[in-house]
Amino acid sequence: MAITTCIFDAYGTLFDVTAAARQAAQEPEFPHLVDNWATLANHWRLKQLQYTWLRAITKTHADFWQVTQDGLDWAMEATGLSGDPTLRQRLLDLYWQLQAYEEVPRMLESLKAAGLNTAILSNGSPDMLAGAVRSAGLSETLDDILSVETVGIFKPDSRVYDLVGQRFGCRNEEVLFVSSNGWDAAGASGYGFVTAWANRAGEPVDRLPWTPQHILSDLQAIPELVKG
């Protein structure tokens, strides 16, 4: 069955989650970040993800903005930066303006020109996602922004993936789901979507019951992929 609908995870897939720390490190106010911004960014992202899983398992949901702040606080303490409230606020402000990866705008434009549905399906809260999409100039190439806040639990819970069919009225096999998170691509594969893992870091495939059908180094090939 032909792909009619392309669904993208947001953070790490369309938007560079390291951009906030990298940009802050380039600003003269934060010279102490120059040597460890990458470590901070990696800690921040890892804790952000871990907290979504733990909150889903323990049924203690909080929106992604809270999880993002909690992850940053842990990361700043782990890197010896917890005594800098100005840096903390700057990093949080920058997270609302994350840069899209270079290939993303043209890739989405190609999908829309081909008549495909396009949307984000993300753990992010609606206001965070709207800010990132607007800042990156992607509003005209996305039909919708779907957030887990609609169902109150984080991915990879199946209720999150249900949102795609509810919004677009499509069958699972008509959906190409794209994520930079191996666990997310695996979960979506188990759900029944056709999946592409944007494996930007060249990591091994996760040892899970499901694997993505396609593994890519970035998103440039998505328009060709959906042509079949």
Residues with Cβ within 8 Å of 35's Cβ and at least 6 positions away in sequence, in order, are none
List b or e across 40-50, with b for residues whose CB sees 16 or more CB atoms inside 10 angstroms: bbebbbebbbe
Answer yes or no: 93 catalytic.
no
Which residues, in sequence order, are CB contacts of 30 under 8 Å at separation 6+?
24, 84, 87, 90
Quickly tell me which residue has 């990156």 as its tokens: 136
Which one, of 225, 198, 205, 210, lies nearest residue 12 by Cα? 198
Q: Both tokens of residue 133?
A: 């999409």
d(CA 23, CA 16): 11
CA distances from 214 to 136, 189, 228 (A): 26, 11, 12
**Whose CA is closest to 177, among 4, 20, 45?**
4
Neighbour count for residue 166 (Cβ, 10 Å): 10
Which one-letter amino acid corresponds to residue 223?
A: P
Q: Which of 9, 16, 63, 184 is catalytic?
A: 9
Indicate which residues carry an active-site annotation.
9
